[in-house]
Amino acid sequence: MIKLFDNSDNFTSNYSYCDHFPGQNRNIVLLLNHYSEDSFAEQMLEKLLSEILLLNLDSLPESKIIPVLQDFFVEVNWRFYSLFSQRPDLERGISLFLGVMEADRMYLVQYGRYFMGSLEKTGFQEIGRKWENLAMKSQEDLFLLGNRDMNIHVKVEQVTIPADSYFLVLDSKAALKLRELGLHYLSLNEHLSQLKEAEKFGFAVIKHWEQKAHNTSPWIRRKRVNRTATILLVIIILSAAYVYYGKNLIDDIFSRLKFTRNEFTRNDIKEQFFVLQEQAEDLLKELAREDMNITIFPQQKIVMEADWEMSITKDFTSPPCFDFRRLYASSGKLVYAIDKQGAVIKWEKEFAARVEVLRLVDANRILVSLANDRLICLNRDNGEQIWEKSIKLTQETDGHKGICQISLNQYRQLDDSVFLTRSGNKLTLSQVRSGEIVSEYEYSEAIDNVSEYDVLEKCIYITSGRKLKKINIKVMT
């Protein structure tokens, strides 16, 4: 079975979490690091740590570990990218190692500047990054959580650790120093201790302990006899101590036992409290599932606030669509790419016929269908044409017909899901469960189109004639 052998302590800009107990079938090791010693970066680490703990990895079936980790890190990457983009002075990225240990296997996810590998008696085998590229400084050369402007592919590796071997994970700076000292199976502990004396750094050492079979040889029997003799010797020494020092020594021992028992009682009370807390949460969830008009908590206050507004020369003709950086909208024969933050047109492209359909697809592409039955693919970054073909599309109507749901998965601060409707020049937010109106926003002119909900910016975008406007949706606490 593989077990945690040694690991780092928590310190500034680094977190270490180990759910590891003797006899536990599944154990978890998590290392988090951010190079910037900044309160904002520290808050991001704490947020990521809390969200990983909510995954309940210790109770998942082994077959679901890989898909759950992949879905989680794809989702969390874009949310962290959005948060770090608000701080241009801060390095946008988190280094992470997450290992889920099961028997002699480990499922691991790795981002950023951690260096890892398997250390056996025959030598060291790197996994992922190599010795020669540990000194990389450019962020473009590193895969940092919340950093890349591209579609994220999460790689969950399954590693089998051979018996009596180590699996090493440590910060890349410390790895370079360890390489200078020399990395060997017999000298690993000595050299790690030497590095820890100089400075703290994030690391974890995992070892596969080979379980020895029970042996009934005469040597074992002699060992038992020696153990019994040792126990008798201790009893004799305690008896002599009682004779020479009186019963004060025994009283002291009893007082210590009493203190330990009190500690045990307090821990037992705490455990019962947590059980009651879980039962209360289950009861609240059960009440929430019932279709009753029961107000358990005060209703949240949700407001819709106008942010920025911009205009173009002609009317917008399609609902805005967006990715994590830009908005895309059409007006007659034109397609515009607009920056989300500054409402600045990054590029525009004119076609020979009216734009009928505008869709974002993966691989950094936009598909544009024209009224003359031409389908054109554009590059999102600069609007350059990539390919063109002839195809006739069936005309589609607006899928959501002016109704857009905002679920709890999309906006985790909400107490309940809400839905958005538009009528004339008014936007209305209502609760899904009861239909009760929670917020309204009235525009000066009729609203033509409403975008889907933007998860990263927590907003929607509306068009009215030649105007495009951003409407923030805020939960007031």
| CA 122 and chain centroid, separation | 36
Helices (H), 133-217: 172-181, 188-198
Q: In this predicted structure, which of 396-400, 429-433, 455-459 has the lowest mean pLDDT?
A: 396-400
Report d(CA 437, CA 419) in Å as an integer.
10
Check whether 263 has a pLDDT greater than 60: no
Question: Which residue type sits at 270?
Answer: K
Sign of the dihedral through C-alpha 257, 258, 262, 265? positive
At the topology level, CATH places domain 2-208 in Phosphatase 2c; domain 1 (3.60.40)
**399-417 residue pLDDT tens:** 445 678 888 878 877 878 8
Q: Give Cβ neighbours of residue 329 (< 8 Å, ≥ 6 apart).
A: 316, 318, 319, 320, 321, 335, 336, 338, 358, 463, 468
Check whether 326 has a pLDDT greater than 80: yes
**What percentage of the chain exceeds 90 in pLDDT?**
20
**6-60 residue pLDDT tens:** 888 656 667 777 776 666 778 888 888 887 777 788 888 888 888 888 888 888 8
Q: Are 13 and 42 spatial neighbours (Cβ–Cβ below 8 Å)?
A: yes
Q: Which residue has the higher pLDDT, 427 or 217?
A: 427
* Segments of the chain assigned to CATH 2.40.10.480: 320-397
Check whether 294 has a pLDDT greater than 60: no
Report d(CA 434, CA 31) in Å as an integer.
43
Q: Which of 430, 123, 171 is nearest to 304 (CA)?
A: 430
Check whether 137 has a pLDDT greater than 70: no
Q: Which residue has the higher pLDDT, 68 or 408?
A: 68
Report d(CA 298, CA 304) in Å as an integer.
19
Q: Are 420 and 434 spatial neighbours (Cβ–Cβ below 8 Å)?
A: no
HSE toward the beta carbon, residue 70, CA cutoff 13 A:
11
Query: Which pairing describes strands 437-442 and 449-450: parallel, antiparallel, or unpaired?
Result: unpaired
Question: Which residue type sits at 233?
Answer: L
**140-199 residue pLDDT tens:** 667 788 766 555 667 888 888 888 888 999 888 888 888 888 888 888 888 888 888 888
pLDDT band at 214 (very low <50, low <70, confident <90, very high): very low
pLDDT band at 348 (very low <50, low <70, confident <90, very high): very high
Sign of the dihedral through C-alpha 219, 225, 226, 228? positive
pLDDT at residue 226, as a whole number? 65
At the topology level, CATH places domain 320-397 in Thrombin, subunit H (2.40.10)
Cα dist. 267→17, 26, 260, 264, 275 in Å?
21, 24, 11, 5, 13
Mean pLDDT of all residues belonging to the chain? 80
Whole-model pTM: value is 0.46
pLDDT at residue 297, as a whole number? 47
Check whether 224 has a pLDDT greater than 70: no
Check whether 296 has a pLDDT greater than 50: no
> What would the two tokens of residue 118 be?
């398997």
User: Mapping DSSP to helix (H, G, I), strand (E, B) and coil, where does residue 253 land?
Assistant: helix
Check whether 291 has a pLDDT greater than 50: no
* Segments of the chain assigned to CATH 3.60.40.10: 2-208
Check whether 316 has a pLDDT greater than 60: yes
Report d(CA 200, CA 169) in Å as an integer.
14
Report d(CA 10, CA 200) in Å as an integer.
9
Q: Give Cβ neighbours of residue 412 (< 8 Å, ≥ 6 apart).
A: none
- Burial grade of 86 (CB within 10 A; 0-12, 13-18, 19 or more): exposed
pLDDT at residue 139, as a whole number? 64
pLDDT at residue 231, as a whole number? 76
Q: Give Cβ neighbours of residue 473 (< 8 Å, ≥ 6 apart).
A: 302, 303, 304, 406, 411, 429, 439, 453, 458, 459, 460
Q: Give Cβ neighbours of residue 209 (< 8 Å, ≥ 6 apart).
A: 1, 2, 3, 164
Beta bridge partners of 469: 309, 462
User: Phi, psi at residue 197, to the nearest 5°?
Assistant: -65, -30
The mean per-residue pLDDT over the stretch 206-228 comes to: 62
Q: Which of 39, 38, 44, 58 is nearest to 98 (CA)?
A: 58
What is the 8-class DSSP label of residue 22? T
